[in-house]
């Protein structure tokens, strides 16, 4: 086991390589096709949903230290599968997010979206 400091990951690119190594070291490539990975990612997203299901919105803003750590681990699982999927599909995660934010800025212009959570398909014509 390496000392903890060795585990530092300083970019999404490094994360992607680490997750790839992790999978290859276990010969998990045959399980890691995109179909299976989106399933795994959905399972992790639901595990992130679970600790919040009975909380009020207010309680969800004030997690205990124990709840916060559990949530942090589930968030990590989602990111790990996202990095693995991006690796297999050769997608740059930050570029994809930047493009999507630019698209969302057009779909949700401030003058139509300020203070409401309407879906763009529901805007008044």
Residue list 64-103, contact with a second copy (CB under 8 A): 68, 71-73, 75-80, 82-83, 85-86, 88-89, 91, 93-103
Q: How far is the CB of 78 from a second copy (least distance, A)?
A: 6
- Residues touching a second copy, count (CB under 8 A): 81
Task: Considering the complex, state which of residue 91 and residue 123 has its C-beta at the smaller distance from a second copy.
Answer: 91
In three-state form (DSSP H/G/I as H, E/B as E, the rest C), the secondary structure along the chain is CCCHHHHCCCCHHHHHHHHHHHHHHCCCCCCCCHHHHHHHHHHHHHHHHHHHCCCCHHHHCCCCHHHHHHHHHHHHHHHHHHHHHHHHHCCCHHHHHHHHHHHHHHHCCHHHHCCCCCCHHHCCC
Q: How far is the CB of 63 from a second copy (least distance, A)?
A: 7
**Could you tell me the CA-to-CA distances from 30 to 3, 47, 78, 88 in Å, in that order?**
30, 24, 20, 12
Binding residue for a second copy, selected from 64, 104, 107, 120, defined by CB under 8 A: 104
How many CA atoms lie less than 13 Å away from 66 in the CB half-sphere?
Answer: 0
Binding residue for a second copy, selected from 17, 20, 52, 70, defined by CB under 8 A: 52
Q: How far is the CB of 33 from a second copy (least distance, A)?
A: 4
**x/- binding map, residues 17-46, to a second copy, per CB under 8 A?**
-xx--x--xxxx--x-xxxx-xxxxxx-xx
Binding residue for a second copy, selected from 65, 114, 124, 125, defined by CB under 8 A: 114
């Amino acid at each position: 086991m390496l000392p903890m400091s060795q585990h530092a990951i300083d970019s999404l690119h490094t994360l992607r390589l680490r997750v790839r190594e992790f999978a290859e070291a276990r010969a998990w490539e045959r399980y890691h096709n995109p179909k299976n990975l989106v399933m795994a990612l959905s399972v992790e997203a639901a595990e992130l949903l679970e600790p919040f299901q009975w909380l009020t919105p207010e309680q969800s803003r004030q997690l205990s230290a124990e709840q916060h750590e559990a949530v942090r681990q589930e968030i990590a699982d989602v990111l790990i599968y996202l990095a693995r999927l991006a690796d297999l599909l050769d997608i740059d995660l930050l570029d994809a997010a930047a493009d999507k934010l630019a698209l969302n800025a057009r779909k949700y212009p401030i003058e139509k979206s300020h203070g409401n959570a309407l879906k763009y398909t529901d805007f008044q014509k």
